[in-house]
A and B are shown apart, each in its own frame.
Chain A
Amino acid sequence: MSFSVIGKPLPKVDAVSRVTGQAIYADDMLPPRTLHCRILRSPHPHARILSIDTSAARRIPGVVAVITGADLPIKFGILPVTQDERALEHEKVRYVGDPIAAVAATDEEIAAAACDAIAVEYEVLDPVMSIDAALASPKDERIQDYGGPNNIHKLVALEFGDVDAGFARADHVREDVFFFQGNTHLPMEQHSAVATYVDGKVTLWSSTQVVHYVHRALAKVLELPMNRIRVIGAAHGGGFGGKTDPFAHEIVVAKLAMMTGRPVKCTLTREEVFYAHRGRHPVLMWVRTGVTKEGRITAMHFKTALDGGAYGSYGVASTFYTGALQTVTYDIPAYRFEGCRVFTNKPPCGPKRGHGTPQPRFAIELHLEKIAHDLALDPVDMKRSNFVKPMTRTVNWLRVTSCGLEECTARVMDASGFRARNRRPGHGMGFAISSYLSGAGTAIYWNDMPHSEVQIKVDRGGVTAYCGAMDIGQGSDSVLAAVVAEELGLQPKDIRLVTADTDSTPIDLGSYSSRVTFMAGNAALEAARKMRALLVEAVEAGGRRFEEVTFEEACVLAEARFGTLTSAGSYTPPKIAGPYKGSGVGPSPAYSYSACVVDLDADPRTGLLHINKVWIAHDVGRAINPLLVEGQVEGSVYMGLGEALMEEQTFRKGLHKWPSMLEYKSPTFLDMPDVETFIVETNDPEGPYGAKEAGQGPLLPVIPAVSAAVFDALGVWIDEVPVTPEKIVEALRRRGKGEPARYGPPGFPDIPYPPCIKVAPPPREVDLAAPAAI
């Protein structure tokens, strides 16, 4: 197929606004008479609030309003099943950083001083700071009043196929334990929101990935109808999943605007961003796999324990995600998954790039490497022999359509010279593959409505496309413009866009789970084709062909013929989930695939690693804009390396150990190796022009590839992320003493998983588009 826009490496449609500093981010806004808001946060990881005295704060000149939890008692939460958050807590605080009160003042300095003047009396409770502590009986009281036993939040147990029989027929069975430490998104832009209240209507500009979910939360907590609230996505300075929850500061500024009648702005300090968190769950994982002597998987049993932090956030989904996608890369004929999320007195964890799947991907890639070593098989070939095939269903009912695993693997194997390398002491290469969703198949609140809607208007030759999708820097605006332009025979810069404004744009669920290119792209495709059909009809009615006239002429003819020219398109993912409770997490209309080789040098004396190069091949289905796809791949590799080597959200004595950009380490220019990217195109049958996702998948294989490369270099397994020099040195020390040459968690705790829900695997002839019988 030959396209005029699709597949071209074009600059983003908003690139100039970014390089001139003209893009308006939320903190850049300063409407007249704006009040500045600061939030008072809990200094205790776990405490009951006995009293809050705001009188001293109110007396400070310049303070206009002070609110506490009593002003915002209604609970909210991103998932319908865990509406456990309040914008301001007035009964109990559950982590250092939990919001308690908020001040609106004429300037930020005064608001901060006033927060310090608010006197809160606490009854300090024993904090729960680890998975083990959460599983045990709490000394004082549980963190939340739902879930259980003890501080368990959620338990999941699913079994697909006959796992015991699978293990029985295995020639070799191995079990391993892994740990993936928590980390955070660290967007360069701190969260920020500005609210106004005019004529009974709240308008909120926010740095958010999800204007629609924020809209719903505001309506609920402020007790206003949705049509009296407008949420606009300001220019966005990075999210990566950290801005996909509705946040306290967004609700608070809206409330303060309602109370004071003035615009109110709140921008989080960097430390507060660490407390807002919603980042990668620390996950402890146990996996047991049976294989034939040729290395074919016969059965897998996977157990996870997630340290969820103090609130639910996306955690129920995250829990399911730690078990869902194992089957989407490897053909696992029988699979048992047991998952557990616990509450701890830490900032709540949620979705970070990959959402619950990088952790098990780390585990499974290394686990299979170890099995290959046990059997003296080549790990790459062993993995390949288990690769899932395109157009199949997995044992847990996930529908695999296009799958470029083979090609991705071949590309990185060739380019890296993985097989043929000259070894020098301390040099290692590691290989890993992975997969990710192109959008979650089920919405966060279940309904039968589309996940993305686009409207197009054309008048006097000008085209405008409207869509709720939020450009978070990944270029979703550019994708929309490219799709509409391609269909109408224009260039992207000819397409005006109105996006992420709940008043004027039709729904898009938000920029998370890598859904936007696929879903908004498909919606835009439908809308654009319908508009084109109108234009074609009008032109042909006059006896000419569409290709013979200019776009403006076609528009004139169509507008004269039909009146107002509008078209609409939408996308609803097919209902492909399996017939079992919990099947909502995992299905996607398409999966992307990635393969990665990491080349490094490891110093056995110091444990220091030098990453020389990363090769990454990513099956994106089709690159609507290869420049943007490369950018996502390179950025994902960067973030994967950061997590693999240095990022960790750790706690000491109940507090975040280092809530600063200095101490929370993310790679600088000098820490980033060269990356060679290969875009693989498998032309997915359902994606717009065959496109799938690119923003998350390429992160996943990088992390296990680093650890595999360390093993290749030094002969020690680091079964824990991040892979730091001290761990390597310790693993070498252990090997020197004749102990297992490994650093990682010693074991997996006893968790009271419920009996498994047993689910029959899909029959061979299941229709790929069959509705789920849930």
Chain B
Amino acid sequence: MKNEVERPVDRHVVALHVNGERTELLLPVHKTLLEVLREDMQLTGTKHGCELGECGTCTVLVDGRPELSCLLLPIQIEGRAITTVEGLASGSELHPLQQAFAELGAAQCGYCTPGILLASKSLLDANQRPSRDEIREALAGNLCRCTGYMKILDAVQLAAGRMTNSLPHRGEG
């Protein structure tokens, strides 16, 4: 380990598409997408709990599907569309999932929240009215230590209802 920093760093220019914006960065190839988002792009909304793919905290969307950013190399996903939590809202209008999470207390400390929001978004994009069990399955790779999961399930169902317009968009409902 101690001699590692004597080795040369292999750098490549990588074009990353994040939240609809294209950025070219000169990156050490061994930096994970998690590190690049947080440290090179100042997108600190993506959090990390273990860096080993064991907790789901670092979940981002790649072409709309949840993946673990701590195990992704930017060079492997050039050209793919990456979505982070910063890309969920439209301008200053919250995504219905964000709105529902805020209303129902589905975020306590909020640290697992970005990853869970994105995994939930991906679920709702594919399945508009998931059952509670389907939500559990989709979020089974995301750990939360605060909520006990219950209000997260409630919030995803509430958002799903609103997004399919079977419920009013916000407020009472």
Chain A residues packing against B (C-beta within 8 Å): 9, 11-12, 14-25, 27-28, 30, 56, 60-62, 109-110, 112-114, 116-117, 185-190, 235-238, 240, 269-270, 472-475, 627-628, 630-631, 634-639, 660-662, 666, 668-670, 672, 674-675
Taking a contact as CB atoms under 8 Å apart, the answer to whether B147 and A635 are in contact is yes
Q: Among the listed A14, A21, A635, A668, which residue makes an inter-chain contact with B45, where contact means beta carbons less than 8 Å apart?
A: A21
B124 within 8 A of A: no
Contact partners of A21 in chain B: CB under 8 A: 44-47, 84-86, 113-114
Binds A, one of B61-69, B73-81, B100-108: B100-108
Q: Among the listed B2, B5, B46, B102, which residue makes an inter-chain contact with A19, where contact means beta carbons less than 8 Å apart?
A: B102
B49 within 8 A of A: yes
Taking a contact as CB atoms under 8 Å apart, the answer to whether A25 and B143 are in contact is no
Taking a contact as CB atoms under 8 Å apart, the answer to whether B1 and A11 are in contact is no
Q: Return the chain B residue nearest A474 by Cβ.
A: B108
Taking a contact as CB atoms under 8 Å apart, the answer to whether A110 and B110 are in contact is no
Contact partners of A666 in chain B: CB under 8 A: 143, 145
A38 to chain B, nearest CB (A): 11
B46 to chain A, nearest CB (A): 7
Given contacts A109-B4, A109-B5, A638-B148, contact A473 B98 (CB under 8 A): no
Q: Among the listed A12, A117, A188, A238, which residue makes an inter-chain contact with B2, where contact means beta carbons less than 8 Å apart?
A: A117
Taking a contact as CB atoms under 8 Å apart, the answer to whether A16 and B148 are in contact is no
Contact partners of A112 in chain B: CB under 8 A: 1
Given contacts A20-B86, A472-B109, contact A11 B102 (CB under 8 A): yes
Binds A, one of B10-18, B134-142, B161-169: B134-142
Given contacts A30-B39, A186-B145, A238-B145, contact A634 B150 (CB under 8 A): yes
Q: Among the listed A30, A114, A189, A474, which residue makes an inter-chain contact with B49, where contact means beta carbons less than 8 Å apart?
A: A189
Contact partners of A240 in chain B: CB under 8 A: 145
A231 to chain B, nearest CB (A): 19
Taking a contact as CB atoms under 8 Å apart, the answer to whether B148 and A113 are in contact is no
Taking a contact as CB atoms under 8 Å apart, the answer to whether A634 and B109 are in contact is no
B126 within 8 A of A: no
Given contacts A15-B101, A237-B111, A627-B104, contact A25 B47 (CB under 8 A): yes
Given contacts A19-B94, A20-B88, A62-B5, contact A189 B44 (CB under 8 A): no
B63 to chain A, nearest CB (A): 20
Contact partners of B139 in chain A: CB under 8 A: 669
Given contacts A21-B114, A637-B148, contact A189 B47 (CB under 8 A): yes
Contact partners of B105 in chain A: CB under 8 A: 9, 11-12, 15, 627-628, 630-631
Taking a contact as CB atoms under 8 Å apart, the answer to whether A238 and B111 are in contact is yes
A30 to chain B, nearest CB (A): 7
Q: Among the listed A116, A237, A661, A662, which residue makes an inter-chain contact with B109, where contact means beta carbons less than 8 Å apart?
A: A237
Contact partners of B44 in chain A: CB under 8 A: 21, 24-25, 27-28
Contact partners of A269 in chain B: CB under 8 A: 51
Which 6 residue pairs spanning A and B have beta carbons closest together?
Answer: A21-B45, A473-B109, A18-B110, A638-B148, A237-B111, A15-B102
- A188 and B69 CA atoms in complex are apart in Å by 16
- A627 and B103 CA atoms in complex are apart in Å by 9
Taking a contact as CB atoms under 8 Å apart, the answer to whether B140 and A236 are in contact is no
Q: Among the listed A60, A635, A661, which residue makes an inter-chain contact with B5, where contact means beta carbons less than 8 Å apart?
A: A60
Q: Among the listed A19, A30, A188, A670, which residue makes an inter-chain contact with B145, where contact means beta carbons less than 8 Å apart?
A: A188
Q: Is the interface of B mostly helix, strand, loop or mixed?
A: loop
Number of A-B contacts (CB under 8 A): 189
Given contacts A19-B101, A662-B54, contact A669 B110 (CB under 8 A): no
Chain B residues packing against A (C-beta within 8 Å): 1-5, 38-39, 42, 44-52, 54-55, 57, 84-86, 88-89, 94, 98, 101-105, 107-114, 117, 135-137, 139-153
Taking a contact as CB atoms under 8 Å apart, the answer to whether A236 and B2 are in contact is no
Given contacts A660-B52, A668-B140, A670-B137, contact A28 B38 (CB under 8 A): yes
Taking a contact as CB atoms under 8 Å apart, the answer to whether A270 and B108 are in contact is no
Given contacts A188-B57, A475-B108, A635-B147, contact A116 B1 (CB under 8 A): yes
- A17 and B2 CA atoms in complex are apart in Å by 40
Taking a contact as CB atoms under 8 Å apart, the answer to whether A634 and B110 are in contact is no
Taking a contact as CB atoms under 8 Å apart, the answer to whether B109 and A236 are in contact is yes
- A21 and B147 CA atoms in complex are apart in Å by 17
Q: Most chain-A Cβ atoms within 10 A of its Cβ — which of B47, B117, B142, B153?
A: B47
Given contacts A17-B110, A28-B44, A238-B109, contact A190 B142 (CB under 8 A): no
Taking a contact as CB atoms under 8 Å apart, the answer to whether A634 and B107 are in contact is no
B56 to chain A, nearest CB (A): 9
- A570 and B126 CA atoms in complex are apart in Å by 53
Taking a contact as CB atoms under 8 Å apart, the answer to whether B101 and A635 are in contact is no
B11 to chain A, nearest CB (A): 14
Taking a contact as CB atoms under 8 Å apart, the answer to whether A662 and B52 are in contact is yes
- A22 and B47 CA atoms in complex are apart in Å by 11
Contact partners of A635 in chain B: CB under 8 A: 108, 145-148
Taking a contact as CB atoms under 8 Å apart, the answer to whether A113 and B2 are in contact is yes
Taking a contact as CB atoms under 8 Å apart, the answer to whether A23 and B54 are in contact is no
Contact partners of B45 in chain A: CB under 8 A: 20-22
Contact partners of A186 in chain B: CB under 8 A: 145
Q: Return the chain A residue nearest B99 by Cβ.
A: A19
B144 to chain A, nearest CB (A): 7
Taking a contact as CB atoms under 8 Å apart, the answer to whether B1 and A113 are in contact is yes
Contact partners of A660 in chain B: CB under 8 A: 50, 52, 54
- The contact sample of 15 A-B pairs, CB cut-off 8 A, is A11-B102, A11-B104, A18-B110, A19-B85, A20-B45, A60-B5, A112-B1, A188-B143, A236-B109, A627-B104, A631-B105, A635-B146, A638-B145, A669-B153, A675-B148
Contact partners of A639 in chain B: CB under 8 A: 145, 148
Given contacts A20-B89, A662-B54, contact A189 B101 (CB under 8 A): no
A593 to chain B, nearest CB (A): 20
Contact partners of B145 in chain A: CB under 8 A: 185-188, 238, 240, 635, 638-639, 666
Q: Return the chain A residue nearest B30 by Cβ.
A: A109
- A436 and B57 CA atoms in complex are apart in Å by 31
Q: Return the chain A residue nearest B87 by Cβ.
A: A21
Taking a contact as CB atoms under 8 Å apart, the answer to whether A668 and B54 are in contact is no
Given contacts A11-B105, A661-B143, A672-B148, contact A237 B1 (CB under 8 A): no
Taking a contact as CB atoms under 8 Å apart, the answer to whether B4 and A188 are in contact is no
